[in-house]
Copies of this chain bind each other. A is one copy, B any other.
Amino acid sequence: MIKAGIIGSTGYAGGELVRILSAHRDVEIKWFGSRSYIDQKYASVYQNMFQIVDAVCMDDNMEELANQVDVIFTATPQGLCASLVNEDILNKVKIVDLSADFRLKDVSVYEQWYKLEHKSPQYIKEAVYGLCEINREDVKKARLVANPGCYTTCSILTAYPLVKEGLIDPDTIIIDAKSGTSGAGRGAKVPNLYCEVNENIKAYGVATHRHTPEIEEQLGYAAGHPILINFTPHLVPMNRGILVTEYATLKKKADGTLPTYEEIKVAYDKYYANEKFVRVLDKDICPETKWVEGSNYVDVNFKIDERTGRIIMMGALDNLVKGAAGQAVQNMNLLFGLPETEGLELVPMIP
Contacts and interface: CB of A to CB of B under 8 A. Distances in A.
Nearest to A294: B349
A117 interface: no
A348 B50 CA distance: 10
A274 to B, nearest CB: 12
Interface string A196-239: 11111111101100000000000000000000111010101111
B50 A347 contact: no
A174 interface: yes
Contact of A12 (B195, B201, B229): B195
B245 A176 contact: yes
A245 B234 contact: yes
A50 B305 contact: no
Contact of A230 (B22, B188, B198, B247): B247
A55 interface: no
Interface string A319-341: 00000000000000000000000
B347 A23 contact: yes
A30 B189 CA distance: 29
Nearest to A51: B279
Contact of A241 (B200, B228, B289, B347): B200
Nearest to A190: B188
Number of copies of this chain in the oligomer?
4
A47 to B, nearest CB: 5
Nearest to A348: B48
Contact of A48 (B180, B182, B349): B349
Interface in A171-199: 171, 174, 176, 178, 180-182, 186, 188-190, 192-199
Interface stretch (A66-74, A97-105, A131-139, A307-315): A307-315
Contacts of A229: 308
Chain B CB within 10 A, most for which of A186, A198, A286: A198
B199 A288 contact: no
Contacts of A202: 243, 286-289, 316
A19 interface: yes
A181 to B, nearest CB: 4
Interface in A247-287: 247, 279, 281-282, 285-287
A223 B243 CA distance: 32
Q: What 10 A-B pairs come out closest when comparing CB atoms? A: A195-B351, A48-B348, A200-B290, A202-B288, A176-B176, A194-B197, A207-B305, A48-B291, A206-B303, A188-B188
11 contacts: A22-B347, A44-B282, A46-B350, A47-B285, A52-B347, A194-B194, A198-B237, A200-B241, A201-B238, A207-B312, A247-B247
